[in-house]
Structure 1
Amino acid sequence: MRKSILLLTGIVSLFSFQAISQQVVLIPERTFSRDMGMNTAEREENPNIEGSKYIYENYQQAKLSTHPNILFNVRYNAYNDDIEVQGANNTSYALNKYGGTIIVTMLTGENYINSKYVDDKENIKTGFFEVLNTSGDFFLLKKQTVFVKEKEIAKTTYHKDKPAKYVKSSDEYYVKVNDLTANKIPKKNKEFANLFPQEKEAILSFIKSEKIKLKKEEDLIKVFKHIEKLRKDSK
């Protein structure tokens, strides 16, 4: 419990920082070390694949929980599931998502955290999620993924081949409890409400009255904010 409280406190403090006049640090190659929690990012690009691996192609300024007093240029590689940090001389590094909790706080407002999670095939993986909401020990997370759609060969001479391209999948939503493994949000209302035993009936009533759809991001955020209110009111 203490660990989860410290994690939540760290997230709140980083998410609420005010942008001040700071110089962005580009990590020089000579200072690269695994002690910094970074690995050399994959740089090879396939010229035969159109599109982008990144949610946003350009780097964005951000703070890292591992270096809270420094600004870095970062971007999320949704194909490799890596947060890349811009280095000097056209280099980049991928944060070590396996070494411990890393909170990435973008000046543009998005916030990412790494976590173990259970995928659709019941495999446990580790990756980065956008944090949409926190309510006590519960975290509402969004998984963004890019995949390669293979090249399509023209069926007739009247058509053209379609090159392979990077395509963004539909976003998926997860719930993380404390510092445990994140699991996909249940699609059924009762299964979702069961995650919050003390507020179960109130949540089901809210979902019904507000016509909540658990597959909609704005509705999920709305539910989590309501759960947070329920908990505050019960104190």
Structure 2
Amino acid sequence: MKKFCLSLFLLSATISTYAQAGNENVFMSSDKIFTLGGKRAKSGEYKIDGNPYTSSKNFEQVIIDGYSKNVQDLRYNAYADEMEYLDKKETYYADKTDGLTIVFPSLKKTYIVKHYTYMGNEKFGYLVLLSKKDAKYGLFRRERVELMQGEKSVSAFSKDANDYYAKEKDVYLVSKGNTYYKLPKNVDELSEDFSLDAKSVKEFTKSNKINFNKEEDLVKLFDFINK
């Protein structure tokens, strides 16, 4: 599959022009700018089993904050941590800009681009937004797919197994201001780490039978915490 880099921004101007920036072809219109970079190398005969998408291989209609309704259908590549769109049978990547919010109505999912720290490393990529965008304590889900090496054949009469995509376990992150933390294991740790009213949080957790292993319960809990 041929791949290109794509930059997708909002342009407030009402005219359309063409420009050249370095070695990149840039098309500008009244609602978007596309920057097409060089082709990525083909994989040749190299075959990978499975796919790198966590929700759907299909390109889905989206709503993007700050953009017109006339935007390309997208899909999330969790291995590359990129949003892809299709144009004339070619696949492009949407440019990442901090705070960019992409809603997939059919999937009932919202992705947001964030700078964050995970396992001591600085990251810049897509997270699934589970709380309100401007919430004091943000709740996010990190989705990733990894590429696993296929097993070598033990016999000369059989083929080696192909490499394959495997979904990683989702990681839940909590933000306070510009700092991100891995979700605490229980309500006691959560209350202590974020200096919450432990008594009211515990009462809510108990009365609503909140299970930290259920996403819908976590969303309910953070809606309460952020009131």
What is the TM-score normalised by the length of structure 2? 0.72
Change (3 A) 1:192 1:42: farther
Q: What are structure 1's unaligned runs of at least 5 residues? A: 1-28
Alignment of 1:127 onto 2:125: yes
Structure 2 residue aligned with 1:4: none
Distance in 1 of aligned mates of 2:26 and 2:112: 27
Secondary structure of 2:93's aligned partner = strand
Asked if 1:191 is matched to 2:197, the reply is no
Alignment size in residue pairs: 196
**Residue 69 (structure 1) shift:** 3.4
Rounded to whole Å, the distance in 1 between the matches of 2:41 and 2:208 is: 48
Answer yes or no: is the 8 Å Cα contact 1:149–1:166 preserved in 2: yes
Closer, same or farther: CA 36–176 of 1 in aligned 2, 3 Å: farther
Shift of residue 198, structure 1, vs aligned partner: 4.3
Q: Which residue of 2 aligns with 1:100?
A: 98
Residue type of the alignment partner of 1:192: L
Equivalent pair of 1:112/1:128 in contact (CA under 8 Å): yes
Identity %: 27
Structure 1 residue 215: Cα displacement? 3.2
Inter-CA distance 181–95: structure 2 relative to 1 (3 Å threshold):
farther
Flag the structure with higher helix content: 1
Greater Rg over alpha carbons, structure: 2
Unaligned runs of 5+ in 2: 1-24
Structure 2 residue 165 is the aligned partner of structure 1 residue 169: no
Q: Distance in 2 between matches of 1:160 and 1:185?
A: 43
Q: Which amino acid aligns with 1:72?
A: Q
Secondary structure of the residue aligned to 1:183 is strand
TM-score using structure 1 length: 0.70
Which position in structure 2 is the counterpart of 1:72? 72
Query: Is this contact kept in 2: 1:63–1:70, CA < 8 A?
Result: no
Is 1:59 aligned to 2:55, yes or no? no
Q: Tell me, in whole angstroms, the C-alpha distance in 1 between the residues paired with 2:52 and 2:218.
A: 27
Q: Aligned letter for 2:192?
A: N
Instruction: Tell me which moved more, 189-198 or 160-169.
Output: 189-198
Letter aligned with residue 114 of structure 2: S
What SS does structure 2 have at the residue aligned with 1:193? helix
Q: Is 1:31 the counterpart of 2:27 in the alignment?
A: yes
SS of structure 2 residue aligned to 1:205:
helix
In 2 relative to 1, CA 69–36 (structure 1 residues): closer, same or farther, beyond 3 Å? same
| Residue 66 of structure 1, CA deviation | 4.2
Amino acid at match of 1:100: D
Distance 1:51 1:89 in 2: 24
Task: Say if 1:41 and 1:92, in contact at 8 Å, map to a contact too.
Answer: no
